[in-house]
Amino acid sequence: MPILMDGQTIKNHFTMFYILSCSHIIRCLEEEAICINE
């Protein structure tokens, strides 16, 4: 699921994931970083 977001949305998105699960955010960052960089 490619996700396109602007800087502010990314910050809010990652903050929400961080609050929900500190360990899960690492996987999300890795997966979404690929989508964002590509």
Task: Tell whether 33 is covered by a domain.
Answer: yes
Provide the residue range defining the domain that includes 29: 7-37
Contact 9, 35 (CB under 8 A): no
- Residues 6 or more apart whose Cβ sits within 8 Å of residue 5: 13, 36
pLDDT of 25 reads: 55
Task: Tell whether 23 is covered by a domain.
Answer: yes
Domain count across the chain? 1
In which residue ranges of the chain is pLDDT below 50?
1, 37-38
pLDDT of 1 reads: 47
Task: Tell whether 1 is covered by a domain.
Answer: no
Contact 3, 32 (CB under 8 A): yes
Task: Tell whether 2 is covered by a domain.
Answer: no
pTM, full prediction: 0.22
